[in-house]
Each structure stands twice: as C-alpha cells, then as structure tokens.
Structure 1
Amino acid sequence: MRIRINRVHYPVVVLGYGRRAGIWTQGCGIGCAGCVSRDTWDPDPDTEVDVAAVAQWCAGLPADVDGITISGGEPFDQPEAFLALLEALHVWRAGRDREVDLLAYSGRSPAVLRARFGAHLALLDAVIPGRFVAAQAPGLRWRGSANQELIPLSSLGHERYDAEVDRPAGTTRIQVGTDGDRIYHIGVPAPGDLTALEAAMARRGLAYEEASWRS
C-alpha cells in the first residue's frame, strides 16, 4: 500500500500533546480559502511512498515521543492508504513502553467522519475536524478557526485532551522546519503571524522566493 506524503518532521510541539512527530499527507480536495498549506493540495503521484516506509520512520523516533499528528492535505482523501497507515502505527505503538497518542486533522465535518470513516476513528485518540474559516480565525488551541473542534476519541484521548477542548491558543503557535530545499512552518498561525514573520526576516535581509500561504 502506498500513500502520498508531503513531509514528516520531528519534533513537533505545536500540534497536540507533548513532544510529537508530524506526518503531512499530500492532496486535498477541500481547499479552504485562506489555507496556509496550499503546497499540500495537489494530489501529486510523485509523492507516493510505501506505508511501511512511513511506519519505519516512526520506528526510529526517540523513546520519549508522546504522539503522532497526521495532517495535510486531507488525510481522509486517501481512505484506504490512511487506514493502512493508522493500522501500522497502532501496531508500532503497542510495542513501546511509553503511551503514544494518534491525532488527525480533517476538513470534513464530525458527522461525515463518523458516518464514513468509523474504522479510522477507532484507531485515533483524537481528531480535529472542520473546514478552516478565515472569518472565524483564530481558533482555540491547535485549531485555526473557532468552528473547529477538538474531539477526544479514546481513553488516552480523553486523558490528554479533555482539558484542551476549550483552552485558548496561547502565544506559541508555530515552529519552523527545513528539509534543505525549503523552509516550512509547522503549527496553526493566527491572522498576521506569517506576515509578521516575513517582515522580521526582511529586516535581517532574508526573503521568501515564494510562499504557499500567500493569497
């Protein structure tokens, strides 16, 4: 089984509980206006990798990793591959001494996820569903707009996320990563965050050649 992947990153500290790994899928058929991750929209077949390769990358994570966050793109646009990935991650985390939660983002509504993707939800500990609505930004912690929910799904999910359901976003919203050829932002910026970052870079003589988050 193969899955389209935009990137993977460790550590991630702005998309869920604790110190995490992030997996971003490639391809999104929803295309929310104002999305800051438009580089993940194109369902480019050249981004396909084996699900086993992603699981192997996770197997090399440090022992203290607290969770995996899967975003995109839209993970549920690849239902069979995404389910295969969740099954592989479920097996992997069962063999670890430390509890690892699985959190996924989706632009689909909670009702659609429950009706069409029950097998996926059964393997997740929490989900953040709902389209990004720029007019309702910013949202609560780890959420881009106020309409988006944080829904715990398992006992571990309730343990880690019940207290976060209504928590404000706070000031630490984004971090920066690089793969050598590009710089990417991780997290859920509030309106103006990326413009302010770009201005700060310009004051230091740095500039983006292109930026997928610009309108």
Structure 2
Amino acid sequence: MDKMTIGDVPDMFDCVAQIFAEKKDELCQMDAAMGDGDLGLTMSKGYGALPGFLRDLQGEGDIGKMLFKGAMKMQNTVPSTMGTLMSSGVMQAGKSLKGKVELEPADMATFVTSFAEGIKKRGKCELGDRTILDSVDAGAEAAREAVADNADATFTDVMAAAVDGAKRGVEATKDMVPKFGKAAVHAAKAKGVADQGAVAGLYLLEGLGSYFAGRE
C-alpha cells in the first residue's frame, strides 16, 4: 500500500490492541517485579478502547484531529501514569499530523517521533532514565533514518526499522538505573533486566508494524 486513509488508522490500532491483549500477562509479570504489576492491564485496556474511539471520530475528516480526540478519550479510560503517557504520545502525534487526510510511509516516522516527544514532554523524562522513552525514541530515530536513506521506503520498511531500533533501545535499558516510581526503589533488581515500559514501547511499534504485513 502506498497510502493510508482515515479509515485505515483504526484498523492499524486494532493490531496494537491485539498485541497488548496477547502480551498482557507478560507485561504484568514484568511490572510486578519492579512496579505496581498493572502495566499489561493498562496497555490492553487503553489500546483495546482506542480503535473504537477512532472509528467514532472518522467524521472529523482529519487524521490528526481524529488521533488527538481519540487519545483524549483513551486518557479517561486509563487515567494511570502510563495511561496518561500513552495518551500524550498519541495526542502529540495527532498534532503533528493535523490536516492530513492520507498518510504516506514518511508520516509513520513522524508519528513515532511525535509519540516519543509527547512521552518526554508529559513524563518529564530523558533518554537514559530507563523508561518507555528509551525504546520509542530509538525506534523513532531508526524510522527517520529509513526515510532519509530511501526515498522509496515503504510503510513496512519504516516500521521494520522502528522495531529494530526499539529492540536496541530495550537492550540498552538493561544497563540503566531507574529514576521514576517504584522501580527506583527496586533499582538494585534492575541490573541486567529490560525495563518493562521500554518493552511495552517495543510491542506498540510491533503492533503498528504488523498492520502492514501482507498489505504491501
């Protein structure tokens, strides 16, 4: 596929919802060791609701507005810290894509980059703080490079690069010291273990990327 329409976007997030439904227990178990143990529930509930919100907003006729307003509804569904970060990421992406009625492959690099910016702004976190930002930002950088290096990059190319970048970001968190939340209290246990938020960020990008599999 060369372009995505406004009707394709909710379908793409169906794929995100599916991966978080599959990974719910795994993320909860990871989170239980370092946090509240509800990460998988937050991700599956929030992204499980988002596609429906987006479908209700297709009448906006604007992909950016649809994403922004859908994310606001998502935030009310999962008003936790991580839920707020996820919603903020989608909102920021919506701002960057305002006015778009179709998306091209390069726009997915913009989506991931803006998503990372939204997390950073709302969470007041930096790279190296051992958070979801470490995987999503690495994915965003790789996605931008894929677009810059190949003018003919497809959606699959861009998202495959993003996933590869995020995997490197997840691996890097094993050597980082947590600075936020309950994970900071359990910092000694973090050594050599991937950050659960960063893993969730990887799954988000894998979910987005899975939509394009078989469609190009």
TM-score in terms of structure 1 length: 0.30
The structure in which a higher percent of residues are helix is: 2
With CA pairs under 8 Å and 6+ residues apart, which has the higher RCO, 1 or 2? 2
